[in-house]
Amino acid sequence: MSDYLQIIDEIDQIDRLLLQKYRVKNFTENLDGARLEFYHPESEDSQEIHIGTANARKYASVKVFEQVYKTFI
């Protein structure tokens, strides 16, 4: 898979969960990429995804900042 397609796939995974009203619970980075844990506040369901590309990790960081910003407003 090309790098571009991998980035699009990882961003799509993040967006899909956020559109289903999941919220980021934990964001852990390591040498292999990043592991994101999501939870759904209404159903107590949780999901975990692994993202490996730098662009998708940056995108996930922005989404975490947006989530935190919305909680303080």
The percentage of residues in the chain with a pLDDT greater than 70, rounded to a whole number, is 97
- Residue 62: is its pLDDT beyond 80? yes
DSSP 53: S
pLDDT in tens, 29-53: 999 999 999 999 999 899 999 999 9
Alpha-carbon distances of 32 from 54, 67, 72, rounded to whole Å: 10, 24, 32
Residue 1: per-residue pLDDT: 62
Residue 44: per-residue pLDDT: 86
Nearest Cα residue to 14 out of 64, 68, 71, 65: 64
